[in-house]
Amino acid sequence: MPIVIKPCDDGLREEYAFIELQGDLKSHSETAFDGKFVGDLHFSKSGTPLLIIGHHLMYGKETKLDKPFALLEKCQEDGNVTYKVRCVVKNKIIFKTRPKPIVGA
Amino acid sequence: MSLLWVDKYRPKDFASLDYHIQQAQELKNLVERSDFPHMLIYGPSGAGKKTRIMCILKELFGPGVERLKMENVTVTTPSNKKVEIMTVNSNYHIEINPSDVGIYDRVIVMDLIKNIAQGQHITTTNNPRDFKVVVLTEADNLTNDAQHALRRTMEKYSSNCRLILCATSLSPVIPAIQSRCLLVRVPAPCIKEIVNVLQNTCKKEDVNLPLPFAESVAKACNGNLRRAILMCEACKVENNTFQDVSNIPHPDWEIFIRKVAKSIMDQHSISNIMKIRNQLYELLTNGIPAEIIFRNIVEGLVIRCDPEVVPYLVREAAIYEHRMTQGNKHIIHLEAFAIKAMCLFQKASIERHIH
Amino acid sequence: MSDFPDPEEEFELMYGDELELMDEQNLEDEDIAVLPAPNARKSLDFNTPTKTNSQSDENIDHNASFVSGCLEIDNETVGVTTEKETERIETTLHTDLNDVNHRKRTVNELFGDVDDLFETELDEIYSAPKKLCEDEKYKKDMNLIKLIVQKRNDYKQTHNLNSIGINTNPVSRDLERNKRNISLEVPKYPFIRIKNFAKENIYIRYHSEKYEEDESKRIVKESNSVGALGDNFQKVLNEAQEMIYKETTEQLTENRDIEMVEESNKDNQLWVELYKPKRYLELLSDESTNRTILRWIKLWDKVVFHRNPKIKVTQPLPSDNKKFFKFNELNTKLDEHGRPEHKVVLLCGPPGLGKTTLAHMVARHAGYNVIEINASDDRSIDSFRTALENATQMHSVIDREKRPNCIVFDEIDGAPPPSIDYLVKFIQGDVKPKGRKSKNKENTPSILKRPIICICNDVYVPALRPLRQISFVINFPQTSSVRLAERLVEICRRQQIKTDMGAMTALAEKSNNDIRSCLSVLHFFKTQNKPIGLSDIYKTNIGQKDMQKGLFTIWKEMFEIKRMRKLTGGSSAPAMKERMQNILSLIGSFGDHERVAQGVFENYPNLNTNINLEDTAHALDWFCFNDIFNKQIYTTQNYTLMGYLNYAFVVWHFAFARFQKEKITYPSAGYEAKAKALRQKAIVAEVLRGMSPLVRSYNSAIPLLLDSLPQIIRVISPPLRPVSLHLYSEEEKNSLLRVASIMADYNLNYIQQRKPDGAYEYNLEPNIEDLVVFDISNNRRKLPSYSNRQLIAREIEAEKMRRFEAQSGKNSVETSKVVNKKSEDSRQAVDASKKPELPNHLQRLKSKTISQKSVGKAAVRKDFFGRVIKCPAPSPGKSAQNALKSDIWYQYKEGFSNAVRKTIKIHSLK
């Protein structure tokens, strides 16, 4: 069965990037992760990305993916499954370092 | 802010200075340049040295300099003695009087300046300069050790920390330090300038100060503006109408010393000497420096006695004062001079009777 | 008319020097004043005339009379006159030499330094070299000279009335003589140029040889005037010569007497050691003292040897024994542990009586092993503790007899006071033993189980006071001279020295019954192998110690002239020389110069007698000298100079001493003044300490004291009506507030204090009134009344509180402001919202159900960056969730993520 991939027709090109973490995201309550607020992503003046999750703070690096990824959105129309290409992801932000703790004010 | 006239109307920046305006302008130009040197400001008491130092600091660092707080700093000497000194500082400067701790001033000077100078300094928008200022007052009372330590410290840490030294006279300061500093002499204001300041102050306070009174105050204060303003204020508080010129309130100790001089002149006998000794003891224990007592006694005597005796009197005074600096117990030299003066007066009166 | 030299001679007298100079320039036929002959040269080496002296001012040669040892002579500057001149000089020499020189000196002496008179006339001379001055000028000068002479005589008359006997004139005369003979610039008299060690040129005048002889005669004659310094120079010289003669003759005879002394003792011991008592019965000290100590030590038997001491029922002691136990009797009662009441015995007395020997002897006799700790040991607290513990808790392993220890502290008056305190505590049993980790509750301090004997010289040393209170003090009486003399005779017999009882008694007395020094003296005499007679003892000056007299005795001697009995009856004052020697020896042996000097200084104005001002001025000069010298000695640590200080006492004695007795008070004024000065200094320091910072930076101690405080004290005493506050007019309220504010700035306050008679008053605190107000009778100051002070005090408190609140309020606002700024600086990030609103990234949360944890406090909270979050607690709907409290958390996994890549299919993820 062919998988049809269509480019996005609205012309909007949002830019997406991966955030790659070396670790797990856990939840205190066992609810799903949907729509939950995870953390803050900031960028410093020199362009270093800064990720704050809970009381952790990590510095990362923005790198280019060797193989770009495409973000596909599944559109199901009466049995036809098409995938719309939302965007092509070329960059990722990888957080490799051990997070630093934030002491509460 | 203190409501004493001396403090209230003290000029806070260069623009509001009343006299030595050209010097003020030069100092202002100096501050605007980027390479601010170490400074040694000297001059007689009450001429405005500290005022000018604060003006310089304000010019350098802005109004943040005026937010002062007092701190007690403890330093450990090499002999494991803990020495405490009170400092007045703001975010940009610190002011200390090393002679408060006596012989340990060397340790204070070295430690404090090193601490300040070694602190990493971040240039922020608030502090446009990359140095802090250390103000050392009574620099002419520093011991020799402290001065030599200071000169080395001055050189080493000059990138982070600038020194402003304040002294009454230049001679106790070693030439090494004099050469490392910019010497600024703040002379005493002249009578006209003092009168001017007094009149401005009184105008701001809504007080009417007639000119002859102002002039007599200016003459009586001996170039010391602080004393002049205080005298005026004391007069006003006592509801003095400023008409009676003879009613200028001199400091008590001055009047007392004149009394001592008078009693030396009047009675030439040993029984008087015990009374004089007690009076001298009282002056000395209340902290009046011996040199000032000496000078005032001599002035009091010279005013009253015969002109022929004056050269001998002054010569004896010079001898005894010189000896006094070489000795430890000032009372002995003061008393010896008193008796010598009595001898001279006695002889003079005998000779007068001969002819 | 003939009395005066006629004008020409007069002229020569006055202008002789200048004429010489003139003559070099133009040779004249005048009689000139003398240049002595070239044969007057002594040691200077001259070249033959190399230069003419038409240009140079320099003249020939004599010896300079005033060459001091440290100058180097610069030879080349000495020129030589021409031959012609020397001939002429020689011819005139004999005629004029005697007259002119003789007269020259007398003129100078008579007139003193009248060189200034010449100065003005020199110009005229040089301008008119050939002419003599006219007669009129002579007459005028004569009159002037007469007047001067007269004045000077008068001056000398009044000046010479000096009862100290010190001729002040030679001093001034010396000065003037120096002025005439030495100068730093090229002078007009004949001179030689010399360089001193500072490389300066000094010009010294030449005089003739005859002048030199006359000068030396004059000096001798002058020194013959007897001052207080002793005898006439001639007399002293004669005496010295006699002594030299005697010694040379004696030495010849003595040389034969001294032979090789055979040592009778093999190991060359000191006699002091040799003749030390080795048994109890050989002790030289008083028998009852010995017995007392022995009895005391025996009391310890119960504790130490566990045998009951033989306690005799003591009857009340006969009264003649009481003088030995003046302060405490031997309490033979035992305390609860079985120890005697006094655990320590303190033996005190002058040196050389046998105290140490006694202590050792008694302890050994009673069966103890003596451990001695004396002044040569380290006596810090730690060493004390070690020694005490060793002695009392352990016993010597070496000692085969297993004797218990007894401690002897010798020379304990020199021990440091902390050590003595420790000893006292140890004795009383208050010392916690070191290093014992006591798990049990009861920590019994170790009690003293061994006797302690202390020995000292001076029992009234302040450091010993605690020890004195708990110990049994025994004042050692002096050995009786008879007993001592007997012992000495015995020793001499053994050592084969011929002597008799009288001589030994004299020796005992001379050394103050100190057996040690007697033995040393005897040992010394043994080397001479002569019989010792009474005269030998009196003559010898060994064996004499410094006599320690009390302070008051010395002051008495200073202020009082002792009367001496004359042989003819009646009394007179001793000679000056004798008084001086007396004072010198007294002060020299006393030692505490400073206190004696202070006593003289404080007591002399109170003397009843009439002292004239001149003497007092002179004496005070010596006080100044004393002060300067003391400072010099202490700063340079050159203690050899202290010998000069003794002479100051001589001067004071001569100035102040009279025949009558004076009341002398102990000098306390100096010390009191010092203490008061410290207190007053503390007042100023207190004011400075509490000042508000803005004022503090403009004030330092001296200007504050001299200028500000005297006026401030007037400023803060405005005339206020003594009514209650609300009745005041606006103006008065303002002035009150003003006063309060000024006082708060300068750290002044009124504190209520209770007076001794019960009333309350408000005193200025710190009390600057004490500091700046001197007792001026015409006190124009109106000090505020009690109610006014109360008002002001209340205002000050209110002002201080206002300031404090302002300060703390300012602080919190300030910190938030500061914090805001800091957050900006450190976070150069995007989305910096300066206002403490909800941050952007949190806005999402509103749409989802997130458990809103209510914020605890409504106080200022800051987020991570320090920005103040204004989170009002009572509205939870708007409560922004703190980012820190989110549900999701991150768990980091350690390791490297660049290695393993596994291909995963999507469906495996589901």
Closest in C884, C892, C894 to A102, CB measured: C884
Q: Please check whether residues B235 and B335 belong to one and the same domain.
A: no
Closest CA to B336 of B325, B352, B321, B351: B321
Q: For residue B1, tell me if it sits in a domain.
A: no
Domain of C182 in residue numbering reads as: 176-217
Q: For residue B15, tell me if it sits in a domain.
A: no
Q: Please check whether residues B33 and B176 belong to one and the same domain.
A: yes
Which of C714, C734, C799, C814 should we substitute to test contact with B (largest number of B Cβ atoms within 10 Å)?
A: C714
Provide the 10 A C-beta neighbour count for residue C1: 4
Question: How far is C315 from C299, CA to CA, in rounded Å?
Answer: 17
- Cβ burial C126-161 (10 Å sphere, 16+ → b, else e): eeeeeeebeeeebeebeeebeeeeeeeeeeeeeeee
- Among chain A residues, CA nearest to C893: A23
Q: Dihedral through CA C692, CA C698, CA C703, CA C706, nearest 10?
A: -50
Closest CA to C493 of C531, C539, C527, C537: C531
Question: How far is C798 from C804, CA to CA, in rounded Å?
Answer: 10
Question: How far is C559 from C382, CA to CA, in rounded Å?
Answer: 49
Confidence of residue B294 (pLDDT cuts 50, 70, 90): very high
Provide the 10 A C-beta neighbour count for residue C809: 10
- Is the CB of residue B206 less than 8 Å away from at least one CB of chain C? no
Closest in A33, A43, A102 to C830, CB measured: A43
Question: How far is C459 from C284, CA to CA, in rounded Å?
Answer: 22
The total number of structural domains in chain B stands at 3
Q: Please check whether residues C339 and C469 belong to one and the same domain.
A: yes
- Is the CB of residue B88 less than 8 Å away from at least one CB of chain C? yes
- Is the CB of residue C210 less than 8 Å away from at least one CB of chain B? no
CB C707 within 8 A of CB B4: no
Question: How far is C271 from C277, CA to CA, in rounded Å?
Answer: 12
pLDDT at res. B182: 92
- Token pair listed for C696: 């503090």
Q: Please check whether residues B205 and B224 belong to one and the same domain.
A: yes
pLDDT reading at B187 higher than 80: yes
Q: For residue C396, tell me if it sits in a domain.
A: yes
pLDDT at res. C75: 35
CB B186 within 8 A of CB B43: yes
Q: For residue C719, tell me if it sits in a domain.
A: yes
Provide CB contacts within 8 A for B289, sequence distance 6+: C702
Q: For residue B24, tell me if it sits in a domain.
A: yes
Q: Please check whether residues C542 and C586 belong to one and the same domain.
A: no
**Euclidean distance between the first and final Cα of chain C, in Å?**
154
Closest CA to C719 of C808, C786, C642, C783: C783
Q: For residue B265, tell me if it sits in a domain.
A: yes
Please report which helix (H) or strand (E) contains residue A4, including its range. strand A4-7
Q: Please check whether residues B263 and B125 belong to one and the same domain.
A: no
Q: For residue C61, tell me if it sits in a domain.
A: no
Portion 601-620 of C in contact with B at CB < 8 A:
601, 605-606, 610-611, 613-614, 616-617, 620
Q: Please check whether residues B45 and B126 belong to one and the same domain.
A: yes
Read off the amino acid at residue C298. K
Q: Please check whether residues B171 and B36 belong to one and the same domain.
A: yes
Chain A meets chain C (3+ C-beta pairs below 8 A)? yes
Question: How far is C397 from C394, CA to CA, in rounded Å?
Answer: 9
**pTM exceeding the 0.80 threshold for the entire prediction:** no
Question: How far is B246 from C776, CA to CA, in rounded Å?
Answer: 17
Q: Is C696 in Cβ contact with B50 (below 8 Å)?
A: no
Q: What is the CATH number of the domain that holds B75?
A: 3.40.50.300
Q: What is the CATH number of the domain that holds C459?
A: 3.40.50.300
Q: Please check whether residues C487 and C470 belong to one and the same domain.
A: no
CA C286 to chain centre: 42
Contacts of C614 in chain B (CB under 8 A): 343
State the nearest Cα–Cα gap between A10 and chain C, in angstroms.
Answer: 25
Q: For residue B152, tell me if it sits in a domain.
A: yes
Which residues of chain C carry a pLDDT beneath 70? 1-136, 156-174, 223-233, 251-268, 307-334, 336, 338, 394-401, 430-446, 538-550, 564-573, 609, 722, 724-725, 775-782, 810-886, 897, 910
- Token pair listed for B229: 């303003």
Q: Please check whether residues C309 and C454 belong to one and the same domain.
A: yes
3-state SS assignment for residue A56: strand
Q: Please check whether residues C512 and C655 belong to one and the same domain.
A: no
Q: What is the CATH number of the domain that holds B327?
A: 1.20.272.10
Q: What is the pLDDT of residues B24-51, one digit of tens each?
A: 899 888 888 878 889 999 999 888 899 9
Q: Is C774 in Cβ contact with B283 (below 8 Å)?
A: yes
Q: Reading across the β-sheet that carries B39-42, which strands appear in turn? A: B69-76, B82-89, B93-96, B132-136, B161-167, B39-42, B182-185
- Is the CB of residue C711 less than 8 Å away from at least one CB of chain B? yes
- Token pair listed for C315: 């009857």
The total number of structural domains in chain C stands at 5
Closest CA to B193 of B231, B162, B230, B229: B229
Q: What is the pLDDT of residues A4-26, one digit of tens each?
A: 777 766 666 678 888 888 888 88
Question: How far is A93 from A97, CA to CA, in rounded Å?
Answer: 12
Q: Please check whether residues C394 and C488 belong to one and the same domain.
A: no
CB B39 within 8 A of CB B139: no
Beta strand pairing status for B182-185 and B39-42? Answer: parallel
Instruction: Kindly write down the DSSP assignment for every residue of B235-298, as one continuous string.
Output: HHHTT--S--GGG----HHHHHHHHHHHHHHH--SHHHHHHHHHHHHHHHHTT--HHHHHHHHH
Closest CA to C300 of C267, C344, C236: C344
What's the DSSP call for residue B173? S
Among B219-233, B254-268, C3-17, C607-621, the range scoring the smallest mean pLDDT is: C3-17
Q: For residue C273, tell me if it sits in a domain.
A: no
Q: Which residues of A touch C (CB under 8 A)?
A: 21-29, 31, 33, 35-40, 42-45, 50, 52-57, 96, 98-99, 102, 104-105
Q: Please check whether residues B178 and B35 belong to one and the same domain.
A: yes
CB C387 within 8 A of CB C425: no
Provide CB contacts within 8 A for C376, sequence distance 6+: none
CB C741 within 8 A of CB C733: no
pLDDT reading at B320 higher than 90: yes
Question: How far is C856 from C850, CA to CA, in rounded Å?
Answer: 18
pLDDT reading at B165 higher than 90: yes
CA A87 to chain centre: 12
State how far the alpha carbon of A40 is from the alpha carbons of A55, C520, C877, C886, in Å.
11, 101, 22, 11
CB B16 within 8 A of CB B183: no
Domain of B277 in residue numbering reads as: 252-354
pLDDT at res. B317: 93
Residues C488, C494, C499, CA angle at the centre, nearest 5°? 55
- Which of B146, B162, B185 lies at the terminal end of a domain, its last residue? B185
State the nearest Cα–Cα gap between C803 and chain A, in angstroms.
Answer: 30
CA C350 to chain centre: 28
3-state SS assignment for residue A25: strand
Confidence of residue B184 (pLDDT cuts 50, 70, 90): very high
pLDDT at res. C92: 45
CB C413 within 8 A of CB C463: yes
Q: Which residues of C touch A (CB under 8 A)?
A: 828-831, 841-842, 844-845, 848, 850, 861-864, 866, 883-884, 886-895, 897
Closest in B2, B234, B286 to C711, CB measured: B234
Contacts of C772 in chain B (CB under 8 A): 251-253, 286
State the nearest Cα–Cα gap between B260 and chain C, in angstroms.
Answer: 11
> Can you say whether the dihedral through the CA atoms of C632, C636, C639, C640 is positive or negative?
negative
Q: Please check whether residues C303 and C452 belong to one and the same domain.
A: yes
Closest in B86, B274, B336 to C620, CB measured: B336
Closest CA to C600 of C667, C690, C647, C533: C667
Closest CA to C180 of C148, C143, C205, C155: C205
Q: For residue B312, tell me if it sits in a domain.
A: yes
Percent of chain C's residues with pLDDT above 70: 60
Q: Please check whether residues B212 and B263 belong to one and the same domain.
A: no
Chain B meets chain A (3+ C-beta pairs below 8 A)? no
- Token pair listed for C631: 């400072």
Each domain of chain A, given as residue ranges in start order, spans 4-24+63-99
User: Phi-psi region for residue C514, left (φ > 0), alpha (ψ -120 to 50) or beta?
Assistant: beta
Q: Is A104 in Cβ contact with C884 (below 8 Å)?
A: yes
Percent of chain B's residues with pLDDT above 70: 94
Closest CA to C792 of C858, C869, C859, C713: C713
- Cβ burial C833-851 (10 Å sphere, 16+ → b, else e): eeebebbeebeebeeeebe
Q: For residue B65, tell me if it sits in a domain.
A: yes
Q: Please check whether residues B262 and B286 belong to one and the same domain.
A: yes
Q: Is C889 in Cβ contact with A53 (below 8 Å)?
A: yes
- Is the CB of residue C155 less than 8 Å away from at least one CB of chain B? no
- Among chain C residues, CA nearest to B124: C825
The mean pLDDT of B91-111, rounded to a whole number, is 87
- Token pair listed for C406: 């007894």
pLDDT at res. B176: 92
Residues A86, A90, A92, CA angle at the centre, nearest 5°? 110
- Among chain B residues, CA nearest to C614: B343
Q: Please check whether residues B170 and B66 belong to one and the same domain.
A: yes
Please report which helix (H) or strand (E) contains residue C288, including its range. helix C287-298
Q: Please check whether residues B54 and B97 belong to one and the same domain.
A: yes
Looking up tokens 């100790």 gives B253
Q: Which chains touch B (3 or more CB pairs under 8 A)?
A: C
Q: Please check whether residues C338 and C419 belong to one and the same domain.
A: yes
Question: How far is B286 from B278, CA to CA, in rounded Å?
Answer: 12
- Which of C756, C786, C810 lies at the terminal end of a domain, its last residue? C810
pLDDT at res. B319: 92
HSE-CB for A34 with a 13 A CA cutoff: 2
Read off the amino acid at residue B253. W
Provide the 10 A C-beta neighbour count for residue C601: 23
Q: Is B95 in Cβ contact with C697 (below 8 Å)?
A: yes
Q: For residue C899, tell me if it sits in a domain.
A: no
Q: Please check whether residues B77 and B223 belong to one and the same domain.
A: no
Q: Please check whether residues C652 and C755 belong to one and the same domain.
A: no
Q: For residue C688, tell me if it sits in a domain.
A: no
CA max distance for chain B: 83
Beta strand pairing status for B39-42 and A100-101? Answer: unpaired
Q: Please check whether residues C516 and C656 belong to one and the same domain.
A: no
Point out which residues pair with A27 in neighbouring strands: C888
Mean pLDDT of chain B: 86
- Token pair listed for C769: 């009134």
- Which of B135, B162, B185 lies at the terminal end of a domain, its last residue? B185
pLDDT at res. C790: 82
CA C646 to chain centre: 15
Q: Is C892 in Cβ contact with A23 (below 8 Å)?
A: yes
Q: Please check whether residues C596 and C525 belong to one and the same domain.
A: no
Peptide bond into B11 cis (omega under 30): no
pLDDT reading at B166 higher than 90: yes
- Is the CB of residue B175 less than 8 Å away from at least one CB of chain C? no
Q: Dihedral through CA B170, CA B171, CA B173, CA B179, nearest 10?
A: 70
Question: How far is B28 from C659, CA to CA, in rounded Å?
Answer: 75
Q: Which chains touch C (3 or more CB pairs under 8 A)?
A: A, B
pLDDT at res. A4: 76
- ipTM for the predicted complex: 0.86
